[in-house]
Homo-oligomer: A and B are copies of this chain.
């Protein structure tokens, strides 16, 4: 039994999360005015400073727009927010949005291929060795949760090898989706993981075969996508 990290949370974080969930779950519609800072402070029974800190957070998530003297409004976050919202949009109020998950995995297929292809182009021996080690650890794992983590580590190593920092940032954002909704993705791993595509990817990357690596990784992504239906 491993203990979870105890998450200590500040009041402002809790408020931000509460209001954030209210917004993404549709309790507030884009354009709606938020209660005033003083009203929120009253409602939550906390100080206005804490509310303000929470609002700053909501603002930087792209969820609300604050105007001096005129209050805060819920913004049209689907056209202003970035991927940092995805973890919370995926299962608002505990209810999974299957279409959104499908969209994510669909895009992931593309990114997996892109990543593997560029990793093959730019790989150097030590990195390839590290990738092989990742694969070894993955194949040795039995616990579902470990498999999940190590599978992601394999992909992460490919991202590093690709040398594309924009891709790295993008993959950070996607990693958060996994972390926030770990249970959601565990279904992709029940009944064991076929590491065949991983092995073929490793081989192709080792030979600098970008086309092969891309195909192998895309195949893996597509199979995960297929398992969703």
List the interface of chain A (C-beta within 8 A of B).
8, 10, 12, 49, 52-53, 56-57, 59-62, 68, 78-86, 89, 99-100, 103-104, 106-107, 110-111, 114, 118, 163-170, 172-173, 176
Please tell me if the beta carbons of B53 and A107 are within 8 angstroms of each other in the complex: no
Please tell me if the beta carbons of B167 and A107 are within 8 angstroms of each other in the complex: yes
Task: For A164, list chain B residues within 8 Å (CB).
Answer: 103, 106-107
Task: For A84, list chain B residues within 8 Å (CB).
Answer: 82, 84
Can you report 24 A-B residue pairs in the complex whose CB atoms are below 8 A from each other?
Answer: A52-B53, A53-B53, A57-B59, A60-B60, A78-B165, A78-B168, A79-B172, A80-B172, A82-B170, A82-B176, A83-B166, A83-B173, A84-B84, A86-B169, A89-B165, A103-B163, A103-B164, A106-B118, A106-B166, A107-B164, A107-B166, A110-B110, A110-B111, A170-B170
How near does chain B come to A164, taking the closest CB pair, in angstroms? 4
Task: For A118, list chain B residues within 8 Å (CB).
Answer: 106
Expressed in whole angstroms, the Cα–Cα distance for A208 and B192 within the complex equals: 37
Nearest CB in chain B to that of A162: its residue: B103
State which of B61, B81, B100 has its C-beta within 8 Å of the C-beta of A172: B81
Task: For A12, list chain B residues within 8 Å (CB).
Answer: 56
